[in-house]
Amino acid sequence: MNKLITVLLVFLSITLFSCAGLQRDSGKSLMQPEKEFCFLFTNSTLGKLEPEGSGSRQQGGLARRSTLINETRETEKKVLVFDTGNIFSDKDLLLDKDKTLYTLIALDKMKIDVLNIGAYDVLSSRLLKKNEPKLVFHLVSANIKSISTGELIFKPYTIAENQGIKIGIFGLTSNHPNPTVLKNKNILIDNPVKEAERTVIRLKAENCDIIILLSQLTDTENIQVAKQVPGIHFIFGSSSRTDQKKTVESTMIISPGTKGKKAALIKTSFRDTVSSFYDIRTKAALEKQLKNMGEKEFQQSEDIASEKSKIENRLRSFNNKTGCTCNTIMLNKNIKEDSRITLLIEKYKQIRLRKTIPDYKKTISSVDLSGLDEEKKLLALRLMNEIKCYKDLNIASLADITPFCRKLADIIVERVSTGESEGKIRYRILQEKEQNKKYLDKKHLFQ
């Protein structure tokens, strides 16, 4: 009998142990996989299609932005790409519809996800609305309205869903520097705080897990929205020229500056739902600062104790929040230009030039362009039509009839073929003209 009881107890122990193991394994299988997200955005391009600056200090440009987007998509699992607005300048939209159109085509080739409409952008709302159905990305604005109808001109938000997480993205902008211009276009920029409250309520009703505001508001307005409208996880962008990164209430405000010279990259991962985010590097810096204070206890004073308490409180504020990293990336010469975008920009320049030079020459019989690809051929032709050879006559118009102008044309073709920059080519032509001044009068020009 005792032997039977012993056997039963052993059996029950094994069974219970096995069940416990199964429960642990079951728990592991039920654990949600880690969700990884990456947000990449640029801010206030203001019509700057190409890099600004000289030499190694050149920054920006749509072609470099495109390469950065492509490379980020190759290295990260899930990337959402935004432009926070004012991609155009007011002059572009009022005077240069071609530039607006080619910029939209470039953004389309980059396959960005969302473009917020800024106050400058909306000056061409008809052109934007006409092309909206053709674009792969969304146009959003929650506070740009028609004066006559009171209705929003663009949809206020869009929702991206991935890995079971819903991300709501909406846009806001400040008034144009000249409100009369907007009024003449039948456009009203409504109160950003009021429209933010309304839009966040709608996004919460859509069960969005993360809410992102793409902003062309001032710094003061960004802070006001963060304080008065709870539930916004990130505010990306600002009309301010300087780059910034700060947390107001439970909202992270991030901007890489203006003119599209830099991009911001935010990376995060989590398993459960999120309440808000904190910067992992900020936390690490605070922890290091606190550790250094602890190692110097002999120097303690009331001021140091107070500072230590502030740091500890700040670190406690990160509890129950999700960590993220925020990097600012300079679009400098280290990033190769996307040839698809440089070709688009060159095509736009050709259109603009032909409108200013009625006798623009598409071909020059004495100059061989057969060895150049399409982009370089267009560049060489543009330079020959833009650069003067004799008085107000350009190289293209004289290359077939004067040896010196033909020599200048050949220099352009040679330099373009090697990939030399436009600025260096122009300088080389200037040098050639300085060294051969005698050919710049009518008597020697045709010799």
- The SS3 of residue 149 is coil
**What pTM value is reported for the model?**
0.85
Q: Residue 345: what are its φ and ψ, rounded to 5°?
A: -65, -40
Of the candidates 141, 160, 12, 15, the residue with the CA atom closest to the CA atom of residue 86 = 141
| CB 340, CB 333: distance < 8 Å | no
Q: What is the largest CA-CA distance in the chain?
A: 130
* 86 vs 116: CA distance, rounded Å: 8
Question: What pLDDT score does 97 carry?
Answer: 85
Question: What pLDDT score does 299 carry?
Answer: 55
Q: Among positive and negative, which fits the CA dihedral 241, 244, 246, 252?
A: positive
Half-sphere exposure for 158 (CA within 13 Å, toward CB) = 16
Question: What pLDDT score does 273 carry?
Answer: 74
| CB 206, CB 168: distance < 8 Å | yes
Sequence-separated (6 or more) residues with CB below 8 Å from residue 336: 64, 67
* 325 vs 323: CA distance, rounded Å: 7
Question: What pLDDT score does 431 carry?
Answer: 92
Q: Residue 440: what are its φ and ψ, rounded to 5°?
A: -90, 15
| CB 40, CB 264: distance < 8 Å | yes
* 23 vs 299: CA distance, rounded Å: 53
* 439 vs 191: CA distance, rounded Å: 64
Integer CA distances (angstroms), 306 to 28, 288, 290, 291, 300, in order: 44, 17, 12, 15, 10
Of the candidates 70, 139, 140, the residue with the CA atom closest to the CA atom of residue 111 = 70
Q: Residue 335: what are its φ and ψ, rounded to 5°?
A: -100, 120
| Tens-binned pLDDT, residue by residue, of the chain (447 aa) | 455 445 444 444 444 444 434 343 334 334 567 888 899 999 999 999 999 887 668 899 999 999 999 999 999 988 999 999 999 886 655 557 889 999 999 999 999 999 999 999 998 889 999 999 999 999 999 999 999 999 999 999 999 998 889 999 999 999 877 787 888 889 999 999 999 999 999 999 999 999 999 999 999 999 999 999 999 999 999 988 878 889 999 999 999 988 899 999 999 988 777 778 988 888 788 878 777 776 655 455 666 777 777 877 777 777 878 888 999 999 999 999 999 999 999 999 999 999 888 889 988 999 999 999 999 999 999 999 999 988 888 999 988 988 888 999 999 999 999 999 898 999 999 998 888 776 566 555 555
Instruction: Compute the residue count for the chain.
Output: 447
